[in-house]
Amino acid sequence: MKNLKLKAARAEKDLSQADLAEKVGVSRQTISAIEKGDYNPTINLCIRICKVLERTLDELFWVE
């Protein structure tokens, strides 16, 4: 399932996939795969992403 919440939060911070990837210590391809729903990140990576984007785990990763 695509993670449109992550993509929207990243865009609100005016960050490219590469920018976010650099801030959380992964490749741009990893961020792309998470947004496409092709990769299920570890909880530690989710937390790092949330901190950078100033969002909660529920806001970015909870599936409704």
CA distance linking residue 1 with residue 13, whole number of Å: 23
Q: Is residue 21 part of a domain?
A: yes
CA distance linking residue 64 with residue 31, whole number of Å: 21
Q: Is residue 60 part of a domain?
A: no
Q: Is residue 37 part of a domain?
A: yes
Q: Is residue 63 part of a domain?
A: no
What CATH number is associated with residue 40?
1.10.260.40
Give the residue numbers spanning the domain of 32. 4-55
CA distance linking residue 18 with residue 30, whole number of Å: 10
Report CA-CA distances (Å) from 3 to 26, 47, 52: 17, 15, 16
Convert the pLDDT of each residue in 2-51 to its tens digit: 999 999 999 999 999 999 999 999 999 999 999 999 999 999 999 999 99
Q: Is residue 64 part of a domain?
A: no
pTM of the model: 0.93
Q: Is residue 20 part of a domain?
A: yes
Q: Based on the structure, what is the number of domains in the chain?
A: 1
